[in-house]
Structure formats: C-alpha cells, structure tokens
Structure 1
Amino acid sequence: MRFAYFGFPHIGGTYSVFRHLHAGLAPHGIDLRWLGYGPAAHRAANGAYFRSQQDLGLVAGRPDDDDRAGTEAMIEAIEREGFDGVFVNVAADRVQTNCIRYLPSRILRVMIVHNITPGTYAAALAIRDHVHATVGVSDRIRADLVSRHGFDDGRTMVIPNGIEAADVARSPRGGGEEALRLLFLGRIDDQAKGVLWLPRILQEIPDPVTLTVTGDGPDFARFKRSCDGTAGFVRCLGAVAPTSVGALLAEHDVLIMPSRFEGFPVTLVEAMAAGCVPVASLLRGVTDMAVQDGRNGRLFPVGDVKAAAQAVIGLARDRAALARMSGQASATARELFGVGLMADRYRALLDRVAEARPAIAAPIDLARWRFPPGLRDGLRTYLPTPVKNGLRMLRERYA
C-alpha cells in the first residue's frame, strides 16, 4: 500500500510523526510519503536544510497557486502517484484539510488530530464525515471529539506520538549539588507554550538554577526582553537542528513546559526517555498520559508560576528524588511511547479500515469548491489574545 502524509519537512511535531511512521510502516509493506503544498513546502523541498528528507516526498502545484488551484494540484498528485490513501493532519493547513472533501471515493483517508484547541476541533468537525477513521494523539482529544463533537466511538481512537528511544541516550541525574539545569525546548510562542511565564517562574526560585531556551517563534524578541535582569541564568540558543536535541537533553536535569495547550508533545516524551525530568503544565488527558506527578515528573496547574517554581525547588533540594524520577521517566517513555508501538497501532488501523471500509460522505464536486465552517475564520479568531489565554487557563484549571 502507498500512502500520502499531508505536510512537508519542517522542525515540528507533525513532521516528527511522519519520520517515525515512514520508518515504522515500511517493514509492513506500507510506503509512506509526505505530500506538501504552498510556498513553504516548495522552499523545504528545494532548500539545503532538509536535503535528507527531499526524496521521501513531493510538492504539489506551484508556489503561487491560489487555494482552489492548490486543491486541484493535491488531488492530481494523489492520482498521478497512485496513492491508496492519505493521512491529513487536521488544521495544519486548511487547504490540505479541505482537500479531503473532494478526494475520489477509492482513497482511504485517516484524520490525525494533534491539538486540543476549539479551532482544531472545529476543523476536524468540518471533515469528520469524509474520513474513514480519526486518530487523536491523546486521550483528551478522543474524549472531546466523541463526547462533544459527535465523532463515532468505533472509528475514533487514540494513538500517542512515539519516539525512537534508541536515538535518545539516558544520562544519570541527581549526583551533584551544582545549579539545577533547566531546559525549555520548543516554539517560542506565548499563546501556546506560555514562554513569558518562564522569567516569572525563575523569579520565584531562590536556589541556584540555569535555564537554556532553545527554539524560535513569534515571541522570541518579547521573551528576550522579559529576561532582563536574569543575565547569567538564562541563555537563548535559538533554533537547533533535530540532531542536536539528544545532546541538549543529556546536558540538562529538568525540562520545563508551561504550555497552555498541547496535543501530545513529542518533546516531553523525548526528554523523559533521556532522563530529563519534566516539570509541565497539567493538561488533563494530555501531559498526565505520560507524567505521574511525583513519580516520574511534576505537574502544576496551568499558569501557576508559584507551583511551577515549587516543583523546581523540590528537585533542586532533593537530588535523590531527582535521580529516582529520572529513572522512572526514562522507563515510562521507553516502555509506553516507542515508535514501534505507534507504528504497529497505525498499521493495525490501516488493515482494519482497508478490510471493512466504513461508509463516508460522497466526494464533493470541485466545481463546488469552498471552505466550510470550521475552516474559515470564526468569531473566536477575533478575540484578543489575552482573552483567549484567560479562557484557556480557566478551562484547564476548572473544567
């Protein structure tokens, strides 16, 4: 079987899933290829940075295609390349998400939902009736889709994102009394990742600690300004290559993740596999799938900088607890979230869907192309960011 995975090479969780699935499904006779669209996909396909990934996929259409032309180019590429089915990362790109509604009936289609935001759920609902199966990458996503958005219980499953544990070396933690080494690894985006809480967390910690911040994003400049007064304690490395992540994790004691929302963060599990103890926001059905508070990491209420600081202080002052949690974190990640287990679950899903295809909506004629509700901007789009952030925090703390 030959499947297209909607997306293109980039530094991020959805492409990490592709790399792992590509390798994990190949022994089962499933050839998985990325299929991109748009200017960023063309840059990735022709640039030097992702040269090793360029032969694993292709780009549809031209960089200047409008949305409808892009849809037509995607469908033409799927037909030309003889793909039997597709994976769509819902809401990653609205043209690719919408493309699902126009595919020929013979194409198997699986939706992967990577986040817990209302916008992501609205996009998933827009194509719900046009896919044979839906994968939520966390328990929370599946529960929300089934209970709140009418997704079929039997066609909606959980497959957590996996890691290649063999690529992550574990280093012992907790042996010394030097400053605790904290690491933030991810997109520098306060709306999702809560990065502007990091300096406030540091201010609540009297013990010697250092913080390394790696990544890039829209709030990088704001974050650096917010770190005034922390010279010597915070270093910003900017974006790092995926090949450097293992070494970074090995050099740090604690991964700090003050996110407002996630789907199922690969970074969290990679850190745990390396023995880097997570101190993360409690996102029900997401971070607590991997982190058991006090056993293999620490969880704190979203936005509670004092609780986050207390978790770090506890690890800084009790290095035996740090060492114990480090070992438990590594064991959890390697036993429960390996890429082989993820690939086996996807293979079983594809076998089941191929053998007994559920009925889905008929393809829509391209002459009637449009973006449906859920893929257009809604009222929530126009809410000020502080309002949306406040609503998210209330939902996570009290829902």
Structure 2
Amino acid sequence: MSTSDRPLRVLLVSHYYPPHLGGVENVVRQEAVRLAASGVDVTVLTSAERSAVRHEEGVRVVRVAAWNGAERAGVPFPVLSPAAVPAALRWARWADVVHVHDCLYLTSWVAGLAAALTRTPHLLTQHVGLVAHPSAVVRGVQRVVYAVAGRGLLRRARSVFTLNATVAAFVRRYGARPDRARHLPNGVDAELFRPAGTAAERATARRRFGLPEDRPLVLFAGRLVPKKGFDLLLAAHRPADGFDLVFAGDGDTAGLPGQPGVHHVGALSPEELAELYRACDVFALPSTAEGFPLTVQEAMASGLPVVTTDDPGYAPYRLDRSMVRLVPRNADDLRAALVELTGDPVRRAGMADYSRRYATAEFAWEEHVRSLVLHYRDASGAVPR
C-alpha cells in the first residue's frame, strides 16, 4: 500500500505519558488522542516501569522499561533499558514522521538516532529552556546535554515548535534553524477546564477537597520546586490578608503542613484538577523561564483571574495586561497583586471573563492538530488530503 493510500503514520515521543502526571505528558496525550480521532495512525514511544504495548483511546502506546529513581530527587529523567533501541528503530521505520517532545531526555535521543538511521524525518516540540535548578551540577549537565545531543536534534529537525519567545530564542541558540522555528501554542480542553456553573457547584468542589467556603482561595498548580515559585508564594502570604493558598502538586512539601491558611491537596489527575480550578478564585504561578505553561492555559479556560511572572516569553500572545497580572518575581509585588484581587470581586469577575474568552479563542486543540498535520505532511512529502 502506498503512503497516499493509507493514513499518515506518526510516532510521538515523550519521556513520560499518562497515567504519569505532568504537563508535557498531558499535552502529548491530547495530541495523540486528537490526531488519532482526525484519522492519523499514532504510536507513542515512552517510558514505564515495565515494557508493554497497548492500545489506549485509539492510540498505540509503546512503553519501554526504565529506571525512574532520579525523579524522587526532583530530576524527572527516566533511564531507559536497552530495549529502547530496537523499539525506537522499529517504530521509526514504521512511521512517516517522528515527533519528539523536548530534546533533554533519553527517549528523545534514542528516537532521534532511530529517525536518522531509518531516514525518517523528525519534528521537535521544545517545551522549556534551561531550568534554573538549585543544583549547580544539574544546571551544568543540562548545558552539556543541550550543547551535544540537544543541538543535533534541533539542527536536524524539519520543524521546531516552541510555546513562547524565551524558548524560541533558546532553540535558536542551541542549533535550530531560524527558518524552521514555529510558534505553536498548546491547546486546552475547554470542555474539561471550564468555570463553575453556579455558586453551589463551587461550594461542592470546595467541600470535596476540604477547603473553606468562606474565604477567597488562591490556587497554585505544578511541581513544588523553586522554579515554579511555590516558595515565593508562601513568602508572599499573610493569613491576615484575608485569603488562603491552595497547592496542587507534589515535590518539596516540607514547608506546607501546619501553616495557617495553607492547604495542600497533592498531585491530581486532569479531571480532579479541573474541579479544583472551579473551587478557587485566583490562579497564581510565580515561576521563572516558563513563558506560557499549560497550567496558566487551564486556569484561563476555567475562568480564573491569573497572576504570574512578567516573563518576556508571554510577548507573542499579546495579552491584555490589565486583564492578566504579570508581576515582577518578588514576594512584595506578588502579595500586593493577590491582596488587591482577592479583595475586589468585581475586578476578579472582569478578569475571569477575559480569561475564558481568550482561552477558548486562542487555545483550540482543533487548530493545534490541524497545524501539526500540515507540518507532518510537509515533512514527509505526503500530499495533503
């Protein structure tokens, strides 16, 4: 059967995939499921405790056994078993295109090598730049990896997708060809992530998570690591200011238990997190070097006012700065913004309406998938249908 007589075959590559919880894996799952629904034959290559091949939601998921002990130390870096090499070669040979997510991981290196050996064109989505990890060793290793393995993947990629201006500059610095760099925002599921329909629905969600019903709630969602700014948010909080903090995510929880006005609900599935967004009043993420992370998109789709770091990576999105609070990354400015918003329900309502309208207009998964398919067909030489 010729390539014009069968569905387009795409190998998506990600270091993690659900049920592992995290932003990149959620994006890859959405891409995979929605591509499959559009008629693309999709295989995902990822890591797991044990090797397995299963069909999940119309997608073939190839899991390669890996050691994941480093994640417990805050370094999400699965170390693949030797079985990764033949698996990558087999599925790269099967595919018309290989789409790698992030060039930092072993899954990406193995898939990139397999794509080169089988002469299968590959594309790459780079989610982040250099992570400001507290360990100098980890920061140094990142630079070496990006300068060696990362540079090769970026240089050979037919297209390099980035989510914000900061990462776009990063990929060009590490070898991506300027004429192949593409700005492609992630999509967001605006049906799952939606505002609470009624006050009763919000109250029910608060009761489910054991949250107070009589105080404004400021939500943080993400890994509890310095890069995300959870410690900065804690430093900006005073119970007398009249609002509580809610943290969703795992990581460094040592400073959370017992603090007045602070609630930790742990790591949540997307469905649980969507309900938690509906329980809260403001979303705050004082992270660094992220631009437009997925949780900000989800919060906006859920109709929450957003307070986040004034990062140059937001520039391509042309946000109305009166409707999204982009603040300097320090506790005083963060606290002032949160005190203002939690004390002004009218302003919150206006920002919430803007968030929802912006998210549904700018973060449509249908447009994201349509763009991917066009780039896949261009890279593979397939004729658009």
Question: TM-score, normalised on structure 2?
Answer: 0.78
Could you tell me which residue of structure 2 aligns to residue 299 of structure 1? 326
C-alpha root-mean-square deviation of aligned residues, in Å?
Answer: 3.3
Q: Say whether 1:23 aligns with 2:33.
A: yes
Matched, 1:59 2:63: yes
Q: Partner residue of 1:330?
A: 356
**Alpha-carbon separation, structure 1, partners of 2:56 and 2:311:** 35
Query: Match for 2:339: what amino acid?
Result: I
The alignment partner of 1:328 has SS state of helix
Which residue is equivalent to 1:33?
43
User: By how many angstroms is 1:262 displaced?
Assistant: 1.9
C-alpha separation in 2, matches of 1:96 and 1:334 = 31
Distance 1:186 1:110, change over 3 A: same
Structure 2: tracts of 5 or more residues without a match: 1-7, 69-77, 132-141, 203-212
Q: 8 Å contact 1:4–1:33 — kept in the other structure?
A: yes
Alignment of 1:377-392 (within 5 A): none
Counterpart for residue 130 of structure 1: 156
Are 2:104 and 1:84 equivalent residues in the alignment? no
- Listed as ranges, the matches of 1:222-371 within 5 Å are 223-224=255-256, 230-231=259-260, 233-262=261-290, 264-286=292-314, 289=317, 291-295=319-323, 297-302=324-329, 304-355=330-381
User: Does the 8 A contact of 1:277 with 1:325 survive in 2?
Assistant: yes
Alignment of 1:206-225 (within 5 A): 206-217=240-251, 219-221=252-254, 223-224=255-256
Write the deviation string for residues 60-107 of structure 1: whole angstroms up to 9, x where unpaired: 468799868345233333157x22221112245235325413433431
Structure 1 segments unaligned to the other structure (5+ residues): 358-399
Change (3 A) 1:254 1:289: same
Partner Cα separation in structure 2 for residue 187 and residue 257 of structure 1 = 11
State the Cα distance separating 1:316 from its structure 2 match. Answer: 1.9
TM-score calculated relative to the size of structure 1? 0.75
Q: Which residue number in structure 2 is paired with residue 2 of structure 1?
A: 9
Determine helix, strand or coil for the equivalent of 2:26: helix
> What SS is found at the alignment partner of 2:245?
strand
Letter in 2 for 1:59: R
Measure the CA separation in 2 of the matches of 1:106 and 1:126.
15
- The whole-number CA distance in structure 2 between the counterparts of 1:126 and 1:97 is 9
Partner of 1:376: none
The alignment-based identity, stated in percent, is 23
After TM superposition, the structure 1 stretch with the greater mean CA deviation from structure 2, 91-100 or 339-348, is 91-100
Q: Mark the CA change 1:107 to 1:155 in structure 2 (over 3 Å): closer, same or farther.
A: same
Are the counterparts in 2 of residues 136 and 142 from structure 1 also a CA contact under 8 Å?
Answer: yes
Distance 1:107 1:246, change over 3 A: same
Q: Secondary structure at the match of 1:285?
A: helix
Task: Give aligned pairs, total.
Answer: 339
